[in-house]
Amino acid sequence: MGCCDVPGLMPLEDAQQKLLAGIQPVTDTLTLPIADAVGYVLAEDIRSPLNVPPFDNSAMDGYAVRRDEVMANQPLPIAGRSMAGSPFDEPWPSNTCVRIMTGAQIPSGCDAVIMQENATVSDAGVTFNETELKANQNIRPIGDDIRQGDLALAKGTRLTARDIPMIATLGMATVMVLRKPIVAFFSTGDELQPLGNELAAGQIYDSNRYGIKALIEQFGCEPLDLGIIPDNPKQLTATFMHAQQAADVVLTSGGVSVGEADYTKDILGQLGEINFWKLAIKPGKPFAFGTLPNAWFCGLPGNPVSAFITCYVLVQPLLAKLAGHTQWQPPITIPAITRSGFKKSPGRTDYQRAIYYIENGQFVVESTGNQSSGAFRSMSLANCFVVLERERGRVEAGETVNIELFNASISA
């Protein structure tokens, strides 16, 4: 045990390893039109069936020439035109030039294009005031971008808007992708009401389920919303049984603490196996992970900030692996000077909510306020986490801290 290990709390790094250890990516595939494939993971390498560009073409509007025919004050008559989409395909007499537009095919024998800004047109032809010509200047050669057979996109890439024009360039109308993992989720708690209902005494709105659904979608998975389940062991057991049949992962919020109505962990123990429960992370200590007969299980704490952060920090990499998104990378961490102090005692890795900005070329960061695990506003206002190491104590303004920038799943 290290200096700051708390008995019974698993260090975050150990938990992150355990969460990924047994996960195998989904294997079922489907074929989708490319415009519908954003957010899906490629099931196979995409190799280019053609050269891109497919022919030598002009990078400029100007004149196609043979370099040894270009001399100062010697006009070359125009033999014809090569336009984008309609090449010049007649014989090309010597000592003439061809009018050419950007993207148009280079006439055979041409070894340079002179931009029109360096040319003067008269009745006698075109006179060039650029005569020191480089071989193949302003010519984009066949295969310059991608050669036939090259790897354009690797299996395991999660497709974004960036990838769609790339695939379209290759002439591919459809792609083979992996199916999205299904994540069944529900909230537990007698106090919870769905949006739209009036709140009676002691009740609150179920905010976690809406946030968790959004995260599941952002992580590239398919959400299966099983609603709010009261703190009733029979109903919880039935819901677990149904969820683990219908989904790859079952995700719950609430009921994993040690309160009198916290049944989730016991039920998991009866139906499946608990891998770990209780982490050295703040917020989010009562995070549970295990297996059900037919699905993985992640139990998020009920407190809204804890639920959201553990879903982002711990569940996201698991779902990326399950989705086959092999190119997923953890969020970026960089040092910054803090303008606020942060309360902290050694023992747990702390994810405090903050805003970073750049001042005189230096990253600085400031707390977004109330850091209670039930106070979501500081999460909503943040654009980064201040990640305070397990062994660290209180942090004073002016100290250097590590900030973790939000990745695309929770930032604009």
- Binding-site ranges for ligand AMP (CB under 6 A): 187, 189, 191-192, 204, 206-209, 253-257, 259, 262, 301-304, 374
Residue 286 in the binding site for Mg ion (CB under 5 A): no
Minimal distance, residue 249 CB to Mg ion, in Å: 21
- For residue 301, the partner it binds in Mg ion, ligand AMP, none, with Cβ less than 5 to 8 A by kind, is ligand AMP
**181 contacts Mg ion (rule: CB under 5 A):** no
Name the residue with the smallest CB distance to ligand AMP: 302
User: Helix, strand or coil for residue 355?
Assistant: strand
Cβ of residue 188: shortest distance to ligand AMP, in angstroms? 6
Cα dihedral 291, 293, 296, 301, rounded to 10, equals: -60
Please tell me the count of residues contacting Mg ion according to CB under 5 A: 4
Question: In whole angstroms, what is the distance from residue 72 CA to residue 74 CA?
Answer: 6
Q: Which does 248 bind (CB under 5 to 8 A by kind): ligand AMP, Mg ion, none?
A: none
DSSP element (H, E) containing 376: none
Specify the residue, 264 or 352, whose C-beta has the smaller distance to ligand AMP. 264
State the binding string over 249-268 for Mg ion (x if CB under 5 A, else -).
-----xx-------------
Q: Which does 381 bind (CB under 5 to 8 A by kind): ligand AMP, Mg ion, none?
A: none
3-state secondary structure of 290: strand
**Residue whose tokens read 């209902």:** 197
Q: Report residue 156 as tokens.
A: 């395991």
Stretch that binds Mg ion, among 96-104, 130-138, 201-209, 298-306 (CB under 5 A): 298-306
Nearer to ligand AMP, 218 or 257 (CB): 257
Q: Which alpha helices (H) appear in 112-261, and where do they start and end? A: 163-169, 208-218, 233-246
Query: Who contacts 17 (Cβ-Cβ below 8 Å, separation ≥6)?
Result: none
Shortest CA distance to 138 belongs to which of 86, 93, 101?
A: 101
Q: In terms of C-beta density within 10 A (0-12 exposed, 13-18 middle, 19 or more buried), how is residue 151 classed?
A: exposed
- Residue 192 touches which of Mg ion, ligand AMP, none (CB < 5 to 8 A by kind)? ligand AMP
Dihedral sign computed on CA atoms, order 42, 43, 45, 50: negative
The one-letter code for the residue type at 81 is: R
With CA atoms as reference, report the closest residue to 95 among 125, 129, 132, 57: 125
Q: Which is nearer to ligand AMP, 80 or 254 (CB)?
A: 254
Closer CB to ligand AMP, residue 206 or residue 248? 206
Tokens for 342, please give them.
């942060």
Least spacing, CB of residue 254 vs Mg ion, in Å: 4
Q: In angstroms, what is the minimal distance from the CB of 313 to ligand AMP?
A: 17
- Name which of 57 and 188 has its Cβ closer to ligand AMP: 188
* Pairing mode of beta strands 222-229, 182-188: parallel
Residue 141 Cβ vs ligand AMP, minimum distance, rounded to whole Å: 59
DSSP code of residue 332 = P
Can residue 189 be called a binding residue for Mg ion (CB under 5 A)? Answer: yes
Give which of ligand AMP, Mg ion, none residue 335 binds (C-beta under 5 to 8 Å, depending on kind). Answer: none
Residues that bind Mg ion (CB under 5 A): 189, 254-255, 302
